[in-house]
Amino acid sequence: MQENKLYVGGVPYTSTKEDLRKHFEAAGEVKDAVIIMDKMTNRSKGFGFVEMTNPEDAEKAISMFHGKEFMGRELTVNLARPMEAREERPRRHF
């Protein structure tokens, strides 16, 4: 498990990954920032991930931003968990 990758929920639908990066740079150096997009609509799903350069900056970001307002919405910030394996579903043919 990476101790410097953060899950960020409550991301405003209008924000960009650059907005997210700039916001989290207040806690330290940001290695990467991603907002998860819906494949069908190409719109934000309202959450993303921020990878800090070290675990200390990640902890600082959690304490600075969890439960705080960002562009009109309250953020949920915690360490990202590995994606759980999903069971294989049969492909649908149209």
For the chain, list the domains and their CATH numbers.
5-79 (3.30.70.330)
- What global pTM score does this model have? 0.86
Give the pLDDT band of residue 1 (cuts 50, 70, 90): low
Q: What is the pLDDT of residues 18-38, one digit of tens each?
A: 999 999 999 999 999 999 999
Quote the percentage of the chain above a pLDDT of 90.
82
pLDDT-derived band at 2, boundaries 50, 70, 90: confident
**DSSP label at residue 75:** -
